[in-house]
Amino acid sequence: MTNHRILLVDDESEFVDTLAERLYLRGYHAETVNDGEAALRSIGDNCPDLVVLDLKMPGLGGMEVLREIKRFNNLMPVILLTGHGSTKEGIEGMRQGAYDYLIKPINIDELIQKINEAIEGK
């Protein structure tokens, strides 16, 4: 079991709950929230080691949340999740300070590799 705390942010509650369970089974502690405002509150209260953030959410979208995260803690790694055809947004997110991006549907092993690399600072 790792001590890494990961915040999962996605408005698709079934997806994010399943992802949290899959990470838990691999030794990670994952908290889930379903919107940008809740993500920012959680980051302020709990300061996770890493954020996995969906770009497309109603209300406060992923890019706005990313900017606020980087304003709060520029060193906090963020991995973005994008839908098919959103590579351009993923690249823009990296320009804005995200560690990397993955296209949905994600491969859990690839996500875990990116999480580990981001936390270890590679």
pTM to 2 decimal places:
0.95
C-alpha pair distances (Å), 95 with each of 12, 38, 44, 79? 25, 24, 23, 12
Q: In this model, does residue 75 exceed pLDDT 70?
A: yes
Domain edges within the chain: 5-120
pLDDT tens, position by position, 35-67:
999 999 999 988 999 999 999 999 999 999 999
Compute the half-sphere exposure of residue 63: CA atoms within 13 Å on the CB side of its CA. Answer: 12
Q: Are 76 and 65 in contact (CB under 8 A)?
A: no
The tokens describing 78, both together, are 């963020």
Contacts 24+ apart (CB under 8 A), 13-17: none
Cα–Cα distance between 115 and 23 in angstroms, integer?
10
Task: Determine whether domain 5-120 maps to CATH 3.90.226.10.
Answer: no
Which pLDDT band holds residue 3 (cuts at 50, 70, 90)? confident
